[in-house]
């Protein structure tokens, strides 16, 4: 059974490599996602293993990676988020073991020093802001009164660039 997972992850890595190659184009953005779930009900009760990987990429070597792992057998929960700009990266990882109570938080810097982290994060925000929508989305819905629709209810409104809420938001683009 484990060999099947290894082959699947190898195929996923090949696919991600191909996607990275495509993003060298001037107008290409990509999103890939992979989830593997294994369930067993043998022995001491149900055991679940779940691993999810996501990657978003944009022109200019900009990439965000996310990975989560949950293993009920060992008690491990792990999450990592990586921000990449060409050959540089800042990867944040948290893990927790529910069985032992151990917790760990780690930050890795690739092709840069920890002292460069603030400047890198500023550059990341600046570069990714070019790919975010600049206005909220409108939608229509039935209001329950004879089929009439409520007009243009706003789903999201973005504040000014320098507002505190803009500085603390997630880096989705």
The residues that bridge with 58 in the sheet, in sequence order, are: 62
8: pLDDT strictly greater than 70: no
Q: For strand 103-110 and strand 30-40, is the pairing parallel, antiparallel, or unpaired?
A: unpaired
Q: 97-125 burial string, b = 16+ CB within 10 Å, else e?
A: eeeeeeeeeeeeeeeeeeeeeeebeeebe
Closest CA to 79 of 87, 88, 91, 89: 91
Confidence band of 105 (pLDDT split at 50, 70, 90) = very high
Q: What is the mean pLDDT of residues 100-105?
A: 94
What tokens were used for 44?
Answer: 């001491």
Task: Please state which of the ranges 12-21, 92-101, 124-133, 160-169 shows the lowest mean pLDDT.
Answer: 160-169
Please give the mean pLDDT across all residues of the chain: 76
141: pLDDT strictly greater than 70: no
Confidence band of 41 (pLDDT split at 50, 70, 90) = confident
Q: Using a pLDDT cut of 70, give the percent of the chain over it.
A: 63
Cβ of 8: how many Cβ atoms within 10 Å? 13
What tokens were used for 58?
Answer: 């944009």
- Predicted confidence at residue 44, as pLDDT, reads 79
Residue with the larger pLDDT of the pair 37 and 5: 37
Annotated domain spans of the chain: 4-130
Residue with the larger pLDDT of the pair 168 and 90: 90
pTM of the model: 0.61
Do the beta carbons of residue 66 and residue 81 sit within 8 Å? yes
Phi-psi region of 86 (alpha: psi -120 to 50; beta: other; left: phi over 0): left
Residue 66 exposure: Cα atoms within 13 Å on the Cβ side: 12
Question: Tens digit of pLDDT for each residue in 44-54?
Answer: 788 999 999 99
Residue with the larger pLDDT of the pair 159 and 69: 69
């Amino acid at each position: 059974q484990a060999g099947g997972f290894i082959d699947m992850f190898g195929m996923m890595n090949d696919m991600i490599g191909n996607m990275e190659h495509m993003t060298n184009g001037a107008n290409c953005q990509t999103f890939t996602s992979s989830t593997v779930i294994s369930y067993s009900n043998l022995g001491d009760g149900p055991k679940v293993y779940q691993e999810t990987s996501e990657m978003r990429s944009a022109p200019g070597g900009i990439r965000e990676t996310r990975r989560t792992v949950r293993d009920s057998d060992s008690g491990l929960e792990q999450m990592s988020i990586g921000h990449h700009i060409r050959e540089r990266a800042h990867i944040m990882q948290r893990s927790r073991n529910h069985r032992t109570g151990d917790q760990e938080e780690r930050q890795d810097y690739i092709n840069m020093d920890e002292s460069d982290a603030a400047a890198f994060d500023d550059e990341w925000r600046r570069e990714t802001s070019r790919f975010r929508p600049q206005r909220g989305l409108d939608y229509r819905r039935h209001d329950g009164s004879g089929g009439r629709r409520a007009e243009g209810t706003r789903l999201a409104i973005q504040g000014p660039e320098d507002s505190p809420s803009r500085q603390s938001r997630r880096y989705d683009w």
